[in-house]
Amino acid sequence: AQSVTQLGSHVSVSEGALVLLRCNYSSSVPPYLFWYVQYPNQGLQLLLKYTSAATLVKGINGFEAEFKKSETSFHLTKPSAHMSDAAEYFCAVSLGTGGFKTIFGAGTRLFVKA
Amino acid sequence: GAGVSQSPRYKVAKRGQDVALRCDPISGHVSLFWYQQALGQGPEFLTYFQNEAQLDKSGLPSDRFFAERPEGSVSTLKIQRTQQEDSAVYLCASSLARTSEAFFGQGTRLTVV
């Protein structure tokens, strides 16, 4: 069985500060891991994905995430927050990149203060 | 179309009514998924189609929920005798193949009153 835990339902950072959103996963097989962003009244947009290649994954909008098997973690980071980064972020795990059901975390809402 | 299209965007139903939610996937996409997203929660898997075949419906919460994709393109999620706990955003996603990225629609927000 697979599961995802996102630590912190709300995170607040100042503009220009480091963004760190935490995600831990559980999977009985090597997982595929994803981060999605959701803006109000919008669908989910893929930020980045880990598919067993490089452990440091770079995504869109300056985000990146590092797969750490020993810690079963896939934390999302961005060096400098922008106001436009304010949104809901979801970590997700799947057995594959398509054609497999994806298990989502409960989400972390990111607030960016001016 | 350019993306996954869902209609209606908003639906208010009286308790006990039947509703039908439509998903137009990206043209040529083989895989289609439905998710339910309750307020303040992450999306939860409902069902998966590969072309017209429904390969996984393990997430459908009750027999009041029914999904179809008769021609392997447009899909409809039907909820019979709606209950207040059915209030949620219903998301549809499609992907080109088993190993391709899934693209999400904007969702249908269902409110049962």
Q: Answer yes or no: do A98 and B97 touch at CB < 8 A.
A: yes
Contact B102 A98 (CB under 8 A): yes
Q: Using DSSP, state whether B29 is helix, strand or coil.
A: coil
Each residue of B28-74: pLDDT tens digit? 999 999 999 999 889 999 999 999 999 999 999 999 999 999 999 99
Question: How is B41-83 classified by DSSP, letter by letter?
Answer: S--EEEEEEETTEEEE-TT--STTEEEE-TTSS-EEEEESS--
3-state SS of A32-70 is EEEEEEECCCCCEEEEEEECCCCCEEECHHHCEEEEEHH
> What residues of chain A lie within 8 A of the CB of B98, using their CB?
96-100
- How far off is chain A from B7, nearest CA to CA, in Å? 13
Q: What is the mean pLDDT of chain A?
A: 91
Statement: residue B27 has pLDDT above 90: yes
Record: contact B96-A98, CB cut-off 8 A: yes
Judge: A98–B31 Cβ closer than 8 Å, yes or no.
Answer: yes
Cβ distance B40 to A103 less than 8 Å, yes or no, reads no
Between strands B102-104 and B88-95, the pairing is: antiparallel
Quick one: how far is CA B76 from the chain centroid?
A: 7
- A99 to B97: CB separation less than 8 angstroms, yes or no: yes
Share of chain B above pLDDT 70, in %: 96
Find the mean pLDDT for residues B86-91. Answer: 96
Provide the shortest C-alpha distance from residue A15 to chain B (in Å). 24
Model confidence over A16-67: pLDDT tens digits? 999 999 999 998 777 889 999 999 878 899 999 988 778 899 999 999 999 9
Contacts of residue A40, defined as CB under 8 A and 6 or more positions apart, other chains included, come to A87
As a whole number of angstroms, the distance between CA B47 and CA A80 comes to 38
Residues of chain B neighbouring A49 (CB-CB closer than 8 A): 101
pLDDT exceeds cutoff 70 at A73:
yes
Residue of A nearest to B46 (CA): A101
Q: Which residue has the higher pLDDT, A107 or A94?
A: A107
Q: Which amino acid is at A106?
A: A
Residue A73 has a CB neighbour count (10 Å cut-off) of 18
Residues of chain A with Cβ-Cβ distance to B67 below 8 Å are none
